[in-house]
Structure 1
């Protein structure tokens, strides 16, 4: 019988042809229990009766107790469909066994069919557990994931005599798995994402960079206007000074993210600032050195003070002929 289905001992009575009253003596013994599997054993039940003349009669029942049922899941575990930016953390599950007091999780495995494209994929989570007697159970959750793509759009203009253009200079975060694609214009990109504009027709060229991002996709669309408005500039790349830290604490030091050194050149600065997940937290097409760590509301649905940490910027000086400036900025609160 199963360990949770052991029958109660039957109460037996006896009669004797000479003695009007005889007493049945009941004895129960358990044997064969192993230290690692205490829920498998043998019960021997013996009923013995003896009359006054010493005549003895006995009856024996042998019950073999087995534990052959695997543990069961107590927690709720359901297959779900979810968007890629809302995949739940791995839950802590609770298991129970009908016989063994201990249930041990022997393994957990998570696999994903995400291929870096916008196709839906499946995350499969598998828990394997066993009871004290080696009965094994496996519980599986399938999560169907729909892919979302976060898009960042950047516009710039370049003169045909500006030299080679490297599209990676426009990226806040470059991924080893990311790829560039020409979506508008007749231009061939090199393997490192660069091209020479000197022989191109004037006009707009559009490039799209797509990369996986924690099971989702990130897309950067760069539109570059190739023109022939080349101007000899009085200001160079080395003259531009960009803040490395912003600490808006009222001490008059590093209160704002500043771009200095080229004030006399008359450049208009386009600024985008991203958090470490690639989400845009600030943008200005005519930046006035006035960002102090407050989100402009485009990401969080309303202006708010951002937490301390490392952020990443893209600075484009319009009509400067200079490459975009990218780098890290530390936002502190003290």
Structure 2
């Protein structure tokens, strides 16, 4: 309430107020005018303008959901129901969800958006990103083939393996590699199964077959120095040092005998080393001879078996 004075008498004050609405319910202006008049009609006025604005956005009431990362086989949490309050009126909340596929079927982003707006368009937005990833490799099913020690002639057929994945399809590849051992009759066969899911996650299973081969006999000797069949070659005999070799002529006379035959220094070169009927180091005549080979063999590295191999050997001496 304003009052006024006048130098020649009394003064009266009148008050007037008008309101002009704005673009929304909470925006408007108030114009207040005080007019003072004296008895001779002289006036003076004062105007006050009050501008009312709503520039404050609504506020969410609940704890806002944070960004999370989950595996593709996890349960995606349900969207949180959010509410909001506004200092000048009511506020509504609008929810929206969008899924963006990733580079593979198990990867994606779920974008959740809560938007609250008051009557004057003031807005508050909260965004939660749920990152879905596939980092879990496939799992082989059933009983997997284990490491074995086997004879070369009894190599088992490679199994067909299957695998499952929690987020998609699985592809299985098979690879087999031979690894040389310390000697020809013993080596390893490495079998590898690889299961790969659609996002490139892999799991492997490896089976190692320890192979023990029997001695292979090359039954011709032509000791002419040409590097071919110069000795009685027993492939893989070096793997079985506990061995013996005997060679007989057609009349049953022993012409060669040794222990620990090794294909290098302790070998038969078409010469006699018998003690009875044939002179030592004498070159044997061309013809057919009979050999007897003994060696200790183990297919599993534990139990030993006595092996005997016999057959005919042809010697060519010029």
- The structure in which a higher percent of residues are strand is 2
TM-score (ref. length: structure 2): 0.45
Q: Does 1 or 2 have the higher relative contact order (CA < 8 Å, sep 6+)? A: 1
Q: Which has the larger radius of gyration?
A: 2
| TM-score, normalization by structure 1 | 0.43
